[in-house]
Chain A
Amino acid sequence: MTERPIKVLIAKPGLDGHDRGAKVLARGLRDEGFEVVYTGLRQTPEMIVTAALQEDVDVVGLSILSGAHLTLLPRVCRLLRERGLDDVLVTAGGIIPDADIPTLADAGVAGVFGPGTTIGEVAAFIRANVRPRD
């Protein structure tokens, strides 16, 4: 059996209603050979973490454009750790000022991808940093 595909959750935490980017990324990662679980708009951190747990994903990708990233993303990371998902790679995309990236990194966000990032860059980052799989 060949190594199983990397499983990625793409979610939009919070209240902004713009999911074009998340959908483009979900589609792009599908084309990169990943199994992408898409959960849609307006997700609470609790919903995202429950989905990550039940789906046993390798990666959680969070798309956020509302400006609430300093509140929501660390909360997702904390809940993931609390529920034992400390080996899941967390990445973020959307509108996130450079100045906030160190704070997010401290919280556990491994990669932040702003506008202009290519799908290939995201896929390469995931492949390089994902947890080892069975």
Chain B
Amino acid sequence: MDERPGSDRPGSADERAAALSEAALAGDRRALARLLTAVENRTPVAEAALRRLFPLAGRAHLVGVTGAPGAGKSTLVAALIAEARAAGRSVAVVAVDPSSPITGGALLGDRVRMQAYAADDDVFIRSMASRGHAGGLAATSAAAAAVLDAVGFDLVFMETVGTGQSEVEVAATADTTVVLEAPEMGDEVQAIKAGLLEVADLVVVNKGDRPGAQRTAAQLRAMLSGAAAPRHLDAARPGDAVRPGDAARPGDAVRPGDAAQPHPKHPEVLLTTATTGEGIAELLAALDRHRANAGVNGDRATVRLARAATMVWALVGERLRDALATGEHAAATAGVVAAVAAHDLDPYTAADRLLAALTGRGEP
């Protein structure tokens, strides 16, 4: 075990990636951890490893868990781990906490809630710092999840930083997105604001033992479920509003030309108390149900296309930037940027010139 492939040992990046990948696929958790470090640091080893591992991914259920700081994301994930393990499923977690914009340091505290599984090889928990990436995840979280998927974990939870109203990136990364709300999150108007709640496949009101939890869940059901929201004003009948599990009545969901579709996803609203395990079995069942339905109704294909596009475009952007900012183009690029700084050149013309230089259709 004291061979440390992937570190500063001799051998090409590809050789080290091959050694690490093979070991990780064979169940070596140390190799897996080192691979994830390489992914986080975006090293050549990581790239070579992902070339090998990506084709093996796509089997795990990727579940995003997001919500405000302190809503109980980590505690909920810990409870879900217990439930999934009881059913014999292997679980990996990518838990993201914010990096300091000042020092680059981070305090990664999600593990505190998930420490009961030290002796269980089928539970793997990895903390990641966001490293300046906005949107709720780290820039490399999706790649990390792909590695965990490839080595065979059944369930991969991606826990975001504590989010506000608009960090919706996780929805483009996960198969199923769970948005956590704490009781007394606000009035009904909060539930109809655009943003986080719109991307939820499942809404969970955690801390179900607190006062107001039932009421919050009822309000969210009323405002989010497709069945309850009146399509036309005259359709709003009292007594029609809060019926959990009603959201996906056949024939009700997709009506072409229906401009009043209030929430395209009609998320189920569940009540949990993660600290006691109350409602967790139901949540895991709802996750499975969502995955099965998404496979049938085409949502999975849509989500996977969106995820692929996000990954590819991010890399295209990165590579364009690298190509322009380093090597033969570096000096010319710096000159164009300086011209923009001096207001001698507008940023749009600057971007066009840089792209033209790259494609050989002009000089910067």
Q: Which residues of A contact B (CB under 8 A)?
A: 1, 4-5, 26-27, 29-40, 43-44, 46-47, 49-51, 53-56, 83-87, 132, 134
CB pair A30 B107 closer than 8 Å: yes
CB pair B105 A29 closer than 8 Å: yes
Contact of A35 among B34, B43, B129 (CB under 8 A): B129
Contact of A56 among B2, B8, B34, B115 (CB under 8 A): B34
- B1 surroundings in chain A (CB, below 8 A): 83-84
CB pair B33 A36 closer than 8 Å: no
Interface CB pairs A-B, < 8 A, 28: A4-B37, A4-B41, A26-B107, A27-B107, A30-B103, A30-B105, A31-B100, A31-B103, A33-B100, A33-B104, A34-B105, A35-B99, A36-B106, A36-B108, A37-B109, A38-B107, A38-B112, A40-B111, A40-B112, A47-B118, A51-B115, A51-B118, A53-B29, A55-B126, A56-B36, A84-B2, A134-B8, A134-B41
For the complex, give the distance between the alpha carbons of A50 and B126 in Å: 11
- B34 surroundings in chain A (CB, below 8 A): 56
For the complex, give the distance between the alpha carbons of A87 and B127 in Å: 20
Question: For the complex, is B38 an interface residue (Cβ under 8 Å from A)?
Answer: yes
CB pair B43 A39 closer than 8 Å: no
**0 or 1 for each of B64-79: is its CB under 8 Å from A? (1 = yes):** 0000000000000000
Closest B residue, CB atoms, query A36: B107
Distance between B321 CB and nearest chain A CB, rounded to angstroms = 12
For the complex, give the distance between the alpha carbons of A35 and B130 in Å: 10
**0 or 1 for each of B101-123: is its CB under 8 Å from A? (1 = yes):** 00111111101100100110000
- B8 surroundings in chain A (CB, below 8 A): 132, 134
For the complex, give the distance between the alpha carbons of A39 and B109 in Å: 7
Contact of A37 among B2, B33, B38, B111 (CB under 8 A): B111
- A1 surroundings in chain B (CB, below 8 A): 41-42
CB pair A46 B119 closer than 8 Å: yes
- B118 surroundings in chain A (CB, below 8 A): 44, 46-47, 49-51
Distance between B72 CB and nearest chain A CB, rounded to angstroms = 16
- A44 surroundings in chain B (CB, below 8 A): 118
CB pair A134 B30 closer than 8 Å: no
- B40 surroundings in chain A (CB, below 8 A): 4
- B286 surroundings in chain A (CB, below 8 A): none
Distance between B315 CB and nearest chain A CB, rounded to angstroms = 15
Contact of A33 among B2, B42, B103, B115 (CB under 8 A): B103
Question: For the complex, is B125 an interface residue (Cβ under 8 Å from A)?
Answer: yes
- B99 surroundings in chain A (CB, below 8 A): 35
- A33 surroundings in chain B (CB, below 8 A): 100, 103-105
- B108 surroundings in chain A (CB, below 8 A): 35-38, 55
- A39 surroundings in chain B (CB, below 8 A): 111-112, 115
Question: For the complex, is B7 an interface residue (Cβ under 8 Å from A)?
Answer: yes
- A49 surroundings in chain B (CB, below 8 A): 118
- B125 surroundings in chain A (CB, below 8 A): 51, 54
CB pair B105 A5 closer than 8 Å: yes
Known contacts A30-B107, A33-B105, then 7 further A-B pairs from the complex at CB < 8 Å, ordered by chain A residue: A4-B40, A5-B129, A33-B103, A33-B104, A35-B129, A36-B105, A56-B33
For the complex, give the distance between the alpha carbons of A1 and B44 in Å: 11
- B109 surroundings in chain A (CB, below 8 A): 37-38
Question: For the complex, is B59 an interface residue (Cβ under 8 Å from A)?
Answer: no
Contact residues of B between 107 and 159, Cβ < 8 Å to A:
107-109, 111-112, 115, 118-119, 124-127, 129
Distance between B151 CB and nearest chain A CB, rounded to angstroms = 13
For the complex, give the distance between the alpha carbons of A86 and B34 in Å: 14
Contact of B100 among A30, A46, A50, A132 (CB under 8 A): A30
Question: For the complex, is B4 an interface residue (Cβ under 8 Å from A)?
Answer: yes
For the complex, give the distance between the alpha carbons of A26 and B61 in Å: 33
- A37 surroundings in chain B (CB, below 8 A): 108-109, 111, 127
Contact residues of B between 1 and 59, Cβ < 8 Å to A:
1-2, 4, 6-8, 29-30, 33-34, 36-38, 40-43, 45
Contact of B33 among A31, A43, A53, A134 (CB under 8 A): A53
CB pair A31 B105 closer than 8 Å: yes
Given that A4-B41, A35-B106 are known contacts, is A53 also in contact with B129, CB under 8 Å in the complex? no
Distance between A26 CB and nearest chain B CB, rounded to angstroms = 6
CB pair B106 A51 closer than 8 Å: no
CB pair B119 A54 closer than 8 Å: no
**0 or 1 for each of B279-290: is its CB under 8 Å from A? (1 = yes):** 000000000000
Distance between B1 CB and nearest chain A CB, rounded to angstroms = 3
For the complex, give the distance between the alpha carbons of A47 and B116 in Å: 8
- B4 surroundings in chain A (CB, below 8 A): 84, 87
